[in-house]
Amino acid sequence: MEGNNLILKIIENPEILDSERVPSVFHYKNSDKFFDIINEKREFGERILVLGHEDMDGISSLYGMEVLLRRKGMDFEIYLPSRENEAHGISEEVIKKIKNEGFDFLITVDCGISNEREIKLLRELGFDVFIIDHHSEGNFKEENLIHPFIGKGFPFLSSGVLVFLILMHELKEELWENEDLFDFTYLAGLSVLSDKMPQAGPNEFVLKKSQKIFSYTRIYKIFNEVNLKPPGFKEISKIISTIPAESGSHLIFDFLREKEHESQKKIMKRIISRYIEEQGKFEESMFYARNSYYTENNVTFIVSREINPRYAGWIASRFLKDSGFPVICIAKKNNEWVGEARSKPPFSILKVLREVSFLFKDFGGHPFACGFSIKEENLHPFFENLKKLTAEIKNFIPEPDIIIDEYEFREKRKVLDELCLRGIYFSVVVKGKEEEKFYFSTSKGLHVLSEPLSR
C-alpha cells in the first residue's frame, strides 16, 4: 500500500478516528512552541494582532484566540478582514496595520499558510509571525505553524477545533464548567459543520460537547428571548456567516463581549435584522449568477461583475448541488477578480486549478473547495488554459490517494468504508492481475468509477 500520507496515517492508526480518545493539541507539531512564544510575548508586553478569515470557522477560531489572550491578560486586537472588500489573509493592508499601529506579533487563524512571501517580508521588517491554519495549499515548511496535517493527530480538523484544543490545554476542567465559555464551545462545534469536516476524532469530540451545551449558551438563550422561537443548532451558523464583517470585526463578537442583558438583546435583534437584509442581497447575486452561467467541458463557469464577491463561494456550492459539475464562480472585487471553486469527489477542483495557479495572486483551500484572486489581464489566459486542461476528463481524475493490491484491499476494506462514512474523501486504485479499478469515497462507502481509466 502506498500513497497519500494523511490517508495512510488513518488507515494504519484507525484509533485516531475515535472521538472518545481525549484529543490533545500536543498531537500536532509546534504546539509547545506556540505556548512558549505566547508566554514570552506576555513577559515582554508585546502587542499582538490576530488575523482571521471571514466564515464560520474563521470567526470561531478568532473568538477562541480572543478568549485565550484575554485570559492571559495580553495586549491584543483581533482583525477580521471583510470578504467583500478586503483581501484574504496577510494582505498589504494587514502589513500596513501592523507597522502603523504598533503591533509586534501577528497570529493568523484559518488563514496564513498561503502567505509565504508576506510572512518573509514581515520577518525582514522585524515582526514575529505564528500561523494556525488547516488549508491545504501553502508553505508547510513554515517553522511557526500549527497545522492538523503535521503531527500524529487526526489530520482533517477545522481551525475552530484546532483552536479549541489549544484552549482545552489552557483552561482544562474550566472549559466544561464555566458557562461563560459555552458559547465558544458551541462556535467550535459549528466550525466542524460549516467547513464540512469529517465527523471523526477531535471534530466529533468537539461537536458532541457542543450539542450538549447548546441550549445553555447565551447565543441560544438570548436568541430565544428576542425571537420567541428557539434557534436550531445549525441555524445560528447560517445567520452568523451571512452577516458581513465590518471594520475588522463582526456583530457576533460585539454580542459575546457584552455583559449586560438588555444590550445583549439589542445586539441579537440587530443580528437577526442584518441577516434578513443580507439574504436579500444574496438572492440578488444569485439572480445574476443564474443569468450568466455557462458550462464548458463539464465545468460550470459563473462570471459576473454584478455578483457580490462575498457570495461567490455560496453560489458555487449551490450550483454544484444542483448540477453536480465542478463550478467556478468569479466576481469582481475592487480592482481585481476573485474566484471560488467547488467540486465533488473524486474530481478535485483544487488539483485542476493548481495547474493554472501561476496566473493567480492568491490561491488556497481544500481539495473540493478552494479560492483564488486574479488580475483582470490574467482572466483571458486563465480561461484559455482551463479550456485545454478540462477538455479531457482524465485531467479531472486526481492521482489516486492510495494504490493497493487486491489482497490488501480485501483486508482493509472495512477501515476504508469506515473512512467514507465519516466523510473523509479519498480515491483508491486497486491493482488486480489483469486490470486496475479506481474507487472513490462517497458518504455511503467506496464507489467504483465506471469510466475506464486511461492514465
# chain residues binding Mn ion, by CB under 5 A? 4
Which C-beta is closer to Mn ion: that of 164 or that of 438?
164
Q: Shortest distance, CB of residue 158 to Mn ion, whole angstroms?
A: 6
Q: Shortest distance, CB of residue 424 to Mn ion, whole angstroms?
A: 16
Which C-beta is closer to Mn ion: that of 132 or that of 303?
132
Q: Closest-CB residue for Mn ion?
A: 57
Separation of alpha carbons 383 and 364, rounded Å:
19
Q: Which are the contacts of 204, defined by CB distance < 8 A and separation ≥ 6? A: 19, 192
Separation of alpha carbons 36 and 53, rounded Å:
25
The residue range among 57-65, 293-301, 305-313, 315-323 that interacts with Mn ion, by the rule CB under 5 A, is 57-65
Residue with C-alpha cell 501561476?
Answer: 358
* Cell numbers linked to 59: 470567526
List C-alpha distances in Å: 123 to 32, 98, 321: 21, 12, 43
Among 57, 66, 118, 133, binds Mn ion (CB under 5 A): 57
Q: Shortest distance, CB of residue 159 to Mn ion, whole angstroms?
A: 5
Q: Shortest distance, CB of residue 423 to Mn ion, whole angstroms?
A: 15
Which C-beta is closer to Mn ion: that of 46 or that of 110?
110
Q: Shortest distance, CB of residue 18 to Mn ion, whole angstroms?
A: 23
Which C-beta is closer to Mn ion: that of 349 or that of 416?
349
Q: Shortest distance, CB of residue 72 to Mn ion, whole angstroms?
A: 24
Q: Shortest distance, CB of residue 135 to Mn ion, whole angstroms?
A: 7
Which C-beta is closer to Mn ion: that of 118 or that of 133?
133
Q: Shortest distance, CB of residue 195 to Mn ion, whole angstroms?
A: 5
Which C-beta is closer to Mn ion: that of 52 or that of 339?
52
Q: List binders of Mn ion among 165-224 (CB under 5 A).
A: 195
Which C-beta is closer to Mn ion: that of 68 or that of 428?
68
Q: List binders of Mn ion among 102-121 (CB under 5 A).
A: 110
The residue range among 43-51, 153-161, 254-262, 354-362 that interacts with Mn ion, by the rule CB under 5 A, is 153-161
Three-state SS annotation for the chain: CEECHHHHHHHHCHHHHCCCCCCCHHHECCHHHHHHHHHHHHHCCCEEEEECCCCHHHHHHHHHHHHHHHHCCCEEEEECCCCCCCCCCCCHHHHHHHHHCCCCEEEEECCCCCCHHHHHHHHHCCCEEEEECCCCCCCCCCCCEECCCCECCCCCCCHHHHHHHHHHHHHCCHHHHCHHHHHHHHHHHHHHHHCCCCCCHHHHHHHHHHHHHHHHCHHHHHHHHHHCCCCCCCHHHHHHHHCCCECCECHHHHHHHCCCHHHHHHHHHHHHHHHHHHHHHHHHHHHHHHCCEEEECCEEEEEECCCCHHHHHHHHHHHHHHHCCCEEEEEEECCEEEEEEECCCCCCHHHHHHCCHHHEEEEEEECCEEEEEECHHHHHHHHHHHHHHHCCHHHCCCCCCEEEEHHHHHHHHHHHHHHHHCCCCCEEEEECCCCEEEEEEECCEEEECCCCCCC
Which C-beta is closer to Mn ion: that of 110 or that of 137?
110
The residue range among 49-57, 97-105, 336-344, 406-414 that interacts with Mn ion, by the rule CB under 5 A, is 49-57
Q: Shortest distance, CB of residue 242 to Mn ion, whole angstroms?
A: 17
Q: Does 54 bind Mn ion (CB under 5 A)?
A: no
The residue range among 32-40, 55-63, 113-121, 398-406 that interacts with Mn ion, by the rule CB under 5 A, is 55-63
Which C-beta is closer to Mn ion: that of 184 or that of 223?
184
Which C-beta is closer to Mn ion: that of 205 or that of 438?
205
Q: Shortest distance, CB of residue 203 to Mn ion, whole angstroms?
A: 12
Which C-beta is closer to Mn ion: that of 165 or that of 397?
165
Instruction: Catalog residues that contact Mn ion under the rule CB under 5 A.
Output: 57, 110, 159, 195
